[in-house]
């Protein structure tokens, strides 16, 4: 009897385990909606003065063909923009190393090979290509080789057109303000039906204006159609090369040298009183295609010139206006330099150098700048300050403060006389650096458009286990149950036969 008991123990244990396993698998289980993993994308913004890397992420399922993208992290490369490494073999590629190494750490290893990697070069490289196409091609070649050496899905390293840069900036602005899609209380992304916001971008070598318009765009090269979240948007966009703040300052200095002559000392009405600096005529002024029209017939590129600041608002503004051309418009309406522009309408966001200029003059003057008249009053106060007053009040170094008066006057003329903002429309401009935790610029808009090219992964309904493994484990437990029953029956029969023989 004891022998039969011990022989049946393994079969009973097997039966109990099988029954418990089957019960656990077939009992009603709550179905959960399991989102797929995040997708990632990397955009390197190769500007004229520096390179920034932005890592974006979005759920692998998408809304009407466009990913819901958020900024994951960012990195700012040391040194100048990649165009500044022309003639320095390997310099541009090496400048990206620190940020690309950070991307390797920031993105999960399992997603490395699926992460698209892009580099977009802007006005700095556009200028280099205009001056020396061989050098710009060499810089891009070296950058591409460097990017391909990382475990990401390298897509392209290219020079963006000015219109593309403006359009992508417009997409960023409206995305961050939830004008394309908004997360509703129902837990779904909805189209909010809002009017879009115009974008004003001021970089180092170019400036862009982009806004949605319903009027006829008389120059077809300045009109773009974009499709996002199932909606089609028709936008006006124009990029003014050589009107970024760095190139504008070069042009202003070149204009003053042309006016005053090539002398050991020139007076600069836009630089603060008590400020002076030494510059080289070639490297700091005339070695740029933006200053070609101001270049003297004969000059020594190595000649040093002392620039003396006089802090004269009226003289500064007068000289700044001469950089623009407001005549000879061949269209029904122009901004400047014979470029067609419809009247500005609606709200605008001004970012990049606009933000910092607005921040400095507001802080230095203690005047809230919400109208052209307030901006003019604030700039007059700033231009009358000495360099020591400016650095003391802002706690910022001279290299930033020296150009506040000049760039402020430039922004004032650009916005009011160039783009046509007045007392009624100027208050609609919001000066911002970030929105929704993301940096405002063209890179996010670029990633949003490019995310259309990433295959979508749908949500899946799951029990405790995915359907495949769940069915396999259920089959295993049923097999064990049948095996246990068979083993138990055979054990009982064998035991009875032995007892019968006895």
Considering its fold, how many domains does the chain have in total? Answer: 1
Residue position matching structure tokens 């004229």: 48
**Within the chain, how many helices (H) and strands (E) appear?**
15, 20
CATH number at residue 388: 3.30.420.150
- Which of 386, 347, 379, 349 lies closest to 365 in space, CA to CA? 379
Residue 476 pLDDT: 63
CB 340 within 8 A of CB 219: yes
* CA atoms of 327 and 209, how far apart (whole Å): 20
Split at pLDDT 50, 70, 90, the class of 461 is: very low
Work out the average pLDDT over 270-281. Answer: 95
The Cα 472–Cα 145 span in angstroms is 47
Mean pLDDT of 445-458: 64
Residue 263 lies in a domain: yes
Phi, psi (rounded to 5 degrees) for 305: -125, 135
Supply the pLDDT for residue 450. Answer: 75
d(Cα 63, Cα 99) in Å, to the nearest integer?
30
Domain containing 371 equals 245-329+342-431
Distances (CA, A) of 372 to 12, 173, 202, 256: 90, 23, 18, 26
Confidence of residue 264 (pLDDT cuts 50, 70, 90): very high
For residue range 204-262, list pLDDT tens digits in order: 999 999 999 999 999 999 999 887 777 889 999 999 999 999 999 999 999 999 999 99
pLDDT per residue over 407-441, tens digit each?
Answer: 999 999 999 999 999 999 999 999 999 887 788 99
* 3-class secondary structure, 205: coil
- What lies within 8 Å, CB to CB, of 117 at 6+ separation is 41, 42, 44, 103, 147, 150, 152, 153, 154, 155
Task: With cut-offs at 50, 70 and 90, classify the pLDDT of residue 462.
Answer: very low
Q: What is the pLDDT of residue 179?
A: 87
C-alpha to C-alpha distance for 73 and 86, rounded to whole angstroms: 29
What's the pLDDT score for residue 438? 83
Specify burial of residue 267 (Cβ count, 10 A radius: 0-12, 13-18, 19+).
middle
**CA pair distance 111, 109, nearest whole angstrom:** 5
Whether 182 is in a domain gets the answer no
Q: What is the pLDDT of residues 127-171, one digit of tens each?
A: 999 999 999 999 999 999 999 999 999 999 999 999 999 999 999
Report if residue 112 sits inside a domain: no
pLDDT at position 378 over 60: yes
| Across 378-406, average pLDDT | 95
- Asked if the model's pLDDT at residue 464 lies above 60, the reply is no
Decide if 69 is inside a domain: no
Q: Among residues 69, 72, 85, 84, which one has the least CA distance to residue 168?
A: 69
* Binding positions: 204-208
pLDDT above 90 for 481: no
> What is the distance between the alpha carbons of residues 365 and 351, in angstroms, rounded to a whole number?
20
| Segment among 35-44, 296-305, 380-389, 400-409 with least mean pLDDT | 35-44
- Asked if residue 169 is part of any domain, the answer here is no
Alpha-carbon gap, residue 481 to 485, rounded angstroms: 6
Q: Which of 165, 195, 392, 433 is catalytic?
A: 165
> How sure is the predictor about 68, in pLDDT bands with cuts at 50, 70 and 90?
confident
Is there a domain that residue 297 lies in? Answer: yes
Closest CA to 265 of 309, 214, 315, 329: 309
Mark whether 165 is an active-site residue. yes
Residues at the binding site for ATP are 204-208
Instruction: Write down the pLDDT at residue 460.
Output: 37
Within a domain: residue 110? no
Q: Categorize the per-residue pLDDT at 447 as very low, low, confident or very high, splitting at 50, 70 and 90.
A: confident
Residue 144 domain flag: no
């Amino acid at each position: 009897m004891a022998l039969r008991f011990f022989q049946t123990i393994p079969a009973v244990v097997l039966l109990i385990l099988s029954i418990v396993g089957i019960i656990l698998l077939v009992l009603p289980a709550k179905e959960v909606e399991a989102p797929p993993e995040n997708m990632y994308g990397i955009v390197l913004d190769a500007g004229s003065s520096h390179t920034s890397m932005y890592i974006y992420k979005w759920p692998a399922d998408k809304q009407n063909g466009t990913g819901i993208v958020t900024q994951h992290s960012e990195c700012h490369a040391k040194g100048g923009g990649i165009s500044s490494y022309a003639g320095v073999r390997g310099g541009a590629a090496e400048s990206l190393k620190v940020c690309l190494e950070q991307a390797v750490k920031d993105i999960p290893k399992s997603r490395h090979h699926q992460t698209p990697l892009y580099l977009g070069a802007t006005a700095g490289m556009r200028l280099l290509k205009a001056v020396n196409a061989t050098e710009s091609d060499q810089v891009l070649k070296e950058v591409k080789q460097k990017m391909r050496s990382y475990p990401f899905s390298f897509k392209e390293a290219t020079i963006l057109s000015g219109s593309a840069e403006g359009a992508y900036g417009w997409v960023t602005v409206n995305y961050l303000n939830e004008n394309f899609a908004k997360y509703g209380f129902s837990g779904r992304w909805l189209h909010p039906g809002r009017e879009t916001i115009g974008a004003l971008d001021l970089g180092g070598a170019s400036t862009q204006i982009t806004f949605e318009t319903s009027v006829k765009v008389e120059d077809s090269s300045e009109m773009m159609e974009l499709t996002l979240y199932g909606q089609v948007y028709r936008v006006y966009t124009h990029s003014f090369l050589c009107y970024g703040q760095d190139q504008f300052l070069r042009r202003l200095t070149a204009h003053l040298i042309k006016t005053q002559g090539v002398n050991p000392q020139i007076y600069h009405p836009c630089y603060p009183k008590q400020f002076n600096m030494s510059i080289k005529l070639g490297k700091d002024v005339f070695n740029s295609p933006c200053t070609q029209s101001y270049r003297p017939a004969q000059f020594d590129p190595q000649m040093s010139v002392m620039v003396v600041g006089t802090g004269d608002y009226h003289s500064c503004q007068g000289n700044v206006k001469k950089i623009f051309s407001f005549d000879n418009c061949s269209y029904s309406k122009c901004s400047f330099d014979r470029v067609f522009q419809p009247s500005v309408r609606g709200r605008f966001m001004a970012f990049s150098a606009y933000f910092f200029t607005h921040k400095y003059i507001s802080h230095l003057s203690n005047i809230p700048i919400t109208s052209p008249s307030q901006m003019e009053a604030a700039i007059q106060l700033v231009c009358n300050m000495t360099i020591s007053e400016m650095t003391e009040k802002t706690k910022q170094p001279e290299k930033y403060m020296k150009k506040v008066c000049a760039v402020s006057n430039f922004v004032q003329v650009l916005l009011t006389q160039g783009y046509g903002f007045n007392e009624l429309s100027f208050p609609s401009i919001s000066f911002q650096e970030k929105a929704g935790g993301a940096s405002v610029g063209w890179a996010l808009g670029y990633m949003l458009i490019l995310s259309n090219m990433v295959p979508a992964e749908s949500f899946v309904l799951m029990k405790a286990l995915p359907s495949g493994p769940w069915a396999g484990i259920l089959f295993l437990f049923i097999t064990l149950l049948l095996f246990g029953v068979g083993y138990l029956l055979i054990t009982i029969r064998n035991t009875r036969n032995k007892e019968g023989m006895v």
